[in-house]
Structure 1
Amino acid sequence: MARQNKRQSDDRELARKFEELLKEGTPGFFDVSVYESIIQYYLEGTKFRKAHRTCDIAMEQHPYSVEIMLLKVQVLMQMTQFEEALEILDRAQLYQPNDTDIQLLRANIMAQQDDFEGAIELLEEILTLAEEKDEIHYHMGVIYQDMGNFEESINHLKEAIMLNSQHEDAIYELSYSLEVLDRLEESIDFFKQLIEKDPYSHFAWFCLGVSYFKQGKLDEALDAYEFVIAINDKYSSAYYNIGECYVYKNEYEKALEYFFQTMDMEDKTADVFYNIGFCYEHLGMHPKAIEFYRKASKADAYFHEAYYGIGKCLEAQDKSYESIHFFKRALKLDEANAEYWLAKANAEYKTGNIISSLEAFEEACVLEPSNPEVWKNWSFVHYESGDMDKAIDLINAGIDEMPGNADLYYRAVAYLITAGRYKEAFNYLENALTLNFDSHTVLFEFFPKLETQKALFRIIDQYRNK
């Protein structure tokens, strides 16, 4: 990772010098290898127009460089300019007729144009001639993925990995195809076999850890990631994934240790900042959590989870008014998120904005009608305002949506007793007790008077003795 960051830094500096020369009106003259670095830097940064311009300048200076031609083809593919890309491939093939990279790119263009059968046929033709057969199998595996034929994809990706156990892209795509077919056990078996063949393949250990993690086997995943670090202690993704494992184990202090190590090893990303903030939030350290959520939002202005996190931390500090601003920012980026609408609804209610609160509850309900908290909180607003009929109607709508949820029945009991509709209340109480007897204590929160609690307890105790 350190070497990769160094390369990126060097390439960035080359691109900066190149752009300075362009501003002065002269691009200067660079070797092919320098142009390759600059174009790759633009490609990785999705700066396709700059990459295209650089390719044109490089081809003027090195008109017979097949390397530059193929880079321009990659740029044109990103810009979906396939006709020009194919023309350049034809010209490159005149100079290097047996170059399999040319045919690989041609096959990829055919696949992007939805000519999957033609792309597979072309790759099968060059398979016998290719020196790096693992690359051909890898690309065939990816194309079969695009076709939705995951069985064939798995076969070719496995073949690529057997030929080259260090082919990280093939290992990653195989893991994905097996996950799509819900064959995680098979992926675990395969990566174990791969490790037996090449015990020092840190990426095989890493994918084994990912497979364990997806099956919820956190301890096994942690063991696999520890092997990754033992083999390659600079592999930052292993530290990050260990942090995630500890989050799922609710061991937030340990998770923080690994997220900070990740941050020391690679560029500081919104994901890492967010996860650190998440850990601090769950440790009850809300100001610290807000600090890192803010860093996440600055690293990526579209990271709506960070704004939501800030809002939750502010609300936890009884700053509901301030939290609404951040819930709104999160919703602006992800307006179909029921969790955000529910949080906004609760905050609006706490600040006395009843109309805004009810509107937000309604939005949350439309998006996620199977969330009992929406129905309970929404109906509670009407209960508090004394509109028992509306509160009861809403909680009944929730019961229609989730007839097996005991909490909704208990809430209906509370509302019906308050409304003086005792016979209905006891019918609901019987259903609630049948669904979850132990949850009956929630009723006492609505009736703090000892006399009422005793009366309820007698009724509940009669049901217990049936």
Structure 2
Amino acid sequence: MELRPNDNNNISLTRFESMLKTNHVLFFDSEEFENIIHHYLNLGKIALAKKALKLGLLQHPASVNLKLFKVEIFVFEDDLEKADTLINDLYALEPLNEEIYIQKANILSKRNNHKKAIEVLEEAIKLCEDPIDIYSLIGMEHLFLDQFEEAKFNFMKCLEADIEDYSALHNMIYCFDFLDQHEEAIIYLNKFLETNPYSEVAWHQLGRQYFDLEDYENALTSFDFAIISDDQFIGAYLEKGKALEKLKRFEEAIENYSITLRLDDPTSFALLRIGLCHQNLGNKNLAVQYFFKAIEEDPLLDKGWIAITKFYIRQKDFQKSLYYINKALNIDSENVKYWKLYAKINERLNLLEEAERGYKKALELGNYELSTWLTRGDILHQLGEPEAAVSNLIQASEFYPENAEIEFRLAGLYYMLLETVKGSYHLKNGIRFDSESVIILEELFPNVYKSQQVKSLLKAKL
């Protein structure tokens, strides 16, 4: 039982905290101690929970429930051996106590023995009158085992017993989503809503399922019903805004995002989406104002920095776009998207060394897109570094074998380096993989393309 203000439990808590300040030991019955400990555990105040438990066991040394809290704290502190020993002692005393089974399962779960934990929890169900919480625990154990169908079934059992168990509802929908069962989720939620028509959470989840299926009209209707059920539901307004954007109803989307700003503190997500809507409406000044508001709210919002940078790229103001992407990199130098934009902007400004640095950094951070390898190779070629370009493309070929765009580039580079055997090898590969891509050789390496040796080879192969 959790403590609530203005009840007897709150009085117990006040007395306990007063006792700690004065060092005058007061007597509490065991149930009072249980509530005090439970309160502190819920708040994450483990030290206070342990103090209450220690005093509780001094005053009530035979209390099984207090000892179960001791097990819970042992588990929290990963002292599983002590937890296991104590829970076995308690089982010998009260073999029909469902809470002992629950804590035993908790220990097994901590040891990653989820299958055995499920077996123990299923035994606990036989002992209790209200098994809702146990079904939820079983569902979580199945999630640990990636058994999503079984998990989904148990969360449904929770909802059958308590229609307001939103934690179970969210977990169940997570299972539907993971299994890519959007249609099945829609059927379930519509049936659920027949008997619970004012469940704003269910309407919200239904809307998300329609959204994932790109059925934006039905998504919109669902979010509207979520708002009718709770007109303070910020998540529903945000999702409704997203659906309206997909339907290109940008002014209405702005209206819904703006409502969230009035209901609570502004979020960077809502500010960014408003900016993007204004951008789609051609309201350039308003768009960039909201982009700046978004990063003021959250300087780590990469989508905000990217939106500002791309805004100035569209205006062909590459100096400003470079300025803002540099500011973004100063905040997060490990962001691949920033480095890609940095490289592209420098390329547009013909600052090839900086552009190459950007693409190289993107590759180092794991951006292995073909275009990144190819563009970096072309820039190295332009910078007069054919050996580095070859090394770059050889690495690319490991990720993209039998790629004509890579092979024709390697052919041109090797012929430039007078390594004709290697050049011929890659030229033949390129022709074999995609002969029409020979235009790459003509455009990037015109002198090689016009050479007699290459002409003869092309004539023989094409």
Interval containing the TM-score (normalised by the shorter chain): 0.5 to 0.7
Match of 2:242 in 1: 244
The offset of 1:277, in angstroms, is 5.0
Deviations 1:357-403 (A, max 9, x none): 1122244457444454x467557757977999999997998754799
> After superposition, where does 1:78-227 map in structure 2 within 5 Å?
79-83=77-81, 100=98, 103-227=101-225
Match of 1:56 in 2: 50
Amino acid at match of 1:131: E
Match of 1:11 in 2: none
Match of 2:425 in 1: none
> For the aligned residues, what is the CA RMSD?
4.9
Q: Which runs of 5+ in 1 are unaligned?
A: 1-6, 8-13, 44-50, 429-466
Match of 1:295 in 2: 296
Moved more, 411-420 or 254-263: 411-420
CA gap of 1:253–1:419, structure 2 versus 1, over 3 A, is farther
Amino acid at match of 1:415: E
Total equivalences in the alignment: 393
> After superposition, where does 1:448-463 map in structure 2 within 5 Å?
none
Deviations 1:222-255 (A, max 9, x none): 1111111112222222122222323444544433
CA distance in 2, matches of 1:412, 1:168: 58
CA distance in 1, matches of 2:96, 2:205: 35
CA distance in 2, matches of 1:422, 1:112: 70
* TM-score, with structure 1 as normaliser: 0.65
CA distance in 2, matches of 1:370, 1:210: 31
CA gap of 1:315–1:202, structure 2 versus 1, over 3 A, is same
> After superposition, where does 1:380-459 map in structure 2 within 5 Å?
381=379, 399-400=404-405, 412=440, 415=443
* TM-score, with structure 2 as normaliser: 0.66
Aligned-residue sequence identity (percent) comes to 21
Match of 1:325 in 2: 326
CA distance in 1, matches of 2:294, 2:73: 35
The offset of 1:179, in angstroms, is 2.1
Deviations 1:233-284 (A, max 9, x none): 2222212222232344454443332233234334555544554455456553
CA distance in 2, matches of 1:243, 1:74: 44
Match of 2:413 in 1: none
CA gap of 1:81–1:389, structure 2 versus 1, over 3 A, is closer
Amino acid at match of 1:59: L
Maintained 8 Å contact 1:202/1:232 = yes
CA distance in 2, matches of 1:353, 1:27: 73
The offset of 1:159, in angstroms, is 2.2
Amino acid at match of 2:53: M
Maintained 8 Å contact 2:352/2:383 = no
CA distance in 1, matches of 2:115, 2:255: 49
Deviations 1:36-57 (A, max 9, x none): 55653x44xxxxxxx2223234
Maintained 8 Å contact 2:204/2:222 = yes
Maintained 8 Å contact 1:212/1:220 = yes
1:232 and 2:260 correspond: no
Maintained 8 Å contact 2:292/2:304 = no
3-state DSSP of counterpart to 2:198: coil
> After superposition, where does 1:329-368 map in structure 2 within 5 Å?
329=330, 331-332=332-333, 334-335=334-335, 337=336, 339-351=337-349, 353-364=351-362, 367-368=366-367
CA gap of 1:223–1:73, structure 2 versus 1, over 3 A, is farther
CA distance in 1, matches of 2:273, 2:23: 43
Q: Which runs of 5+ in 2 are unaligned?
A: 5-9, 408-429
Amino acid at match of 2:182: L
Amino acid at match of 1:297: D
